[in-house]
Chains A and B, each alone.
Chain A
Amino acid sequence: MTEKANNLSCADFQAQLPDLIGSGEDISLHPHLQSCDLCRALLADLETIADAARKLFPIEEPPDEVWEHIESALKHEKPTEA
């Protein structure tokens, strides 16, 4: 990280956040975060939300009836234009 990064305002840092997070790099060492409680808290919150959301929505299995309905509907449809 550069000295320029250290002098970022919160607005500038947060404008860069989508790209910083999307880079997959560990941004906890970003100079701005070393000195800004506000943005550090923001990042912690975003991480907590994403983690909680993953736990909230497990992959679900559709009931067998869904395929039965699809099969039934296909019988009444025209053949595909293969």
Chain B
Amino acid sequence: MPYSKAPMKSADPAPPQAGGKSTQPASTSATYRPAAIPNPAEADALARAQAGDHHAFEQLYSLHKRRIYSLCLRMVGNIAEAEDLTQEAFLQLHRKIATFRGDSAFSTWLHRLAINVVLMQLRRKGLPVISLDEAMEPAPEERPGRSFGAPDLTLSGAIDRLALQRAIDDLPAGYRLIFVLHDIEGYEHNEIASMLDCSIGNSKSQLHKARLKLRDALRTQSRQEARR
């Protein structure tokens, strides 16, 4: 029973132009590992965009739009809101791109920027997220306990999509963020730690708590349905 790793970051394998027209041949690579493998097209576009080249900025948008939009969508669960957040993230990128110095992978930097935009939106909506630090440290009452209990309700087999969607939506934003980044987007803990300014151990610990909380929610739902 090897614990399966998340799929590699697979977004934007064949970046089309922003308007939908392809600017380059489709990549044959099935995966995109921004932190591990520098993308020459991205490095070139980045340098030109930093110099104020609008077309290069559009190329950067094409390269990253799907992953940023998907991240926003997974975090807020609403298409219109995810579109607005994507727009805001890239506007922020445009304002700040000259400050990027390459201390981390560009995609990691961009993701961090987008995450901040999402968290600000969640704060505006009154959800209990003030900062990345607080997102990483949910209030004590939100912390799931250890997962002791009779193993009579294992989830092995089919999980109801709606139930899982609801359980993820109900996660505190900090847990949801880690879960989305690691288990769905496929980021490694060291990349998440860099994005969120936390330790690798903290990232692992928060992910584990998120999974336990999801399991608790799904098991509770299974029990309720069994009683009906």
Residues on A facing B (Cβ under 8 Å): 10-11, 14, 17-19, 21-22, 24, 26-28, 33, 37-38, 40-54, 56-57, 59-67, 69-71, 73-74, 77, 79-82
Contacts and interface: CB of A to CB of B under 8 A. Distances in A.
A17 to B, nearest CB: 6
A53 B179 contact: yes
B136 to A, nearest CB: 14
Contacts of A33: 1
B3 A21 contact: yes
A24 B200 CA distance: 14
A60 B156 contact: no
Contacts of A49: 155, 159, 164, 211, 214-215, 218
Interface in B137-159: 146-151, 154-157, 159
Given A18-B205, A22-B204, A64-B18, A59 B67 contact: yes
Contacts of A37: 151
B6 A50 contact: yes
A52 B18 CA distance: 31
Contacts of B6: 50, 54
B120 interface: no
Output the residue of A26, A40, A47, A66 with the most chain B CB within 10 A.
Answer: A66
Interface of B: 1-7, 10-11, 18-20, 50-52, 54, 58, 61, 65-67, 69-70, 73-74, 82-83, 86-87, 90-91, 94-95, 97-98, 146-151, 154-157, 159, 161, 164-165, 168, 179-180, 183-184, 189, 200-201, 204-205, 207-208, 211-212, 214-215, 218-219
B159 A41 contact: no
A11 B149 CA distance: 12
State the majority secondary structure of interface residues on B.
Answer: helix
A74 B18 CA distance: 15
A51 B4 contact: yes
A21 B82 CA distance: 31
B73 to A, nearest CB: 6
Contacts of B159: 48-49, 52
B97 to A, nearest CB: 6
Contacts of A46: 3, 211-212, 215
Contact of B1 (A10, A17, A28): A28
A66 B62 CA distance: 11
Given A53-B168, A65-B83, A47 B3 contact: yes
